[in-house]
Amino acid sequence: MNIIYSREDKLLMIELTEEIDQHTADKVRRKIDDEIERFIPRKVVFDFSNISFMDSSGIGMVLGRYKLIKMLGGELELINVHKTTKKIFDMSGVSRIIKIAEQEEKYKIKQQKENIHNQILNNLDKEEKSEGII
């Protein structure tokens, strides 16, 4: 799991890196909750580009985080979701509740990510604290 946080935009980007099943979901959900509670972001983005496998454990994992984010006043978006994973989100109704970015938005998000990264590097120059990047 890789994390980028932009303090300016209150945007938390979480790049998931492991196949999602019951076993890995149990581990990752706690880590993600810690980050959400730490930053209280206005927007959270889960990047699925490395997730070539997810079973129904991912539904609960995503919905659980969605509830927490919403309770804290933020919103959640999923990007770069692979075909089979998208099927699972569609079947379970997750797609109706949570925004899943279309393929064409991929590039936009990538740029957004690069912008955030540059921003953080700038911030780091200015500030002594480095909690912006983990």
Residues of this chain that interact with other proteins (CB under 8 A) are 19, 21-23, 25-26, 29, 52-57, 59-61, 63-64, 83-84, 88, 91-92
Among residues 52 and 111, whose Cβ is nearest to other proteins? 52
Residue type, 5: Y
- Cβ at position 96, least distance to other proteins in Å: 13
Residues 6+ apart with CB under 8 A from 108: none
Among residues 37 and 53, whose Cβ is nearest to other proteins? 53
Rounded Cα distance between 42 and 83, Å, is 28
Among residues 29 and 117, whose Cβ is nearest to other proteins? 29
- Cβ at position 4, least distance to other proteins in Å: 25
- Cβ at position 55, least distance to other proteins in Å: 4
Coil, helix or strand at residue 6 = strand
Among residues 84 and 115, whose Cβ is nearest to other proteins? 84
- Cβ at position 63, least distance to other proteins in Å: 7
Tokens (6 digits) for 82: 């692979």
Residues 6+ apart with CB under 8 A from 80: 47, 48, 49, 101, 106, 109
Structural contact between residues 109 and 103, judged by C-beta atoms closer than 8 angstroms? no
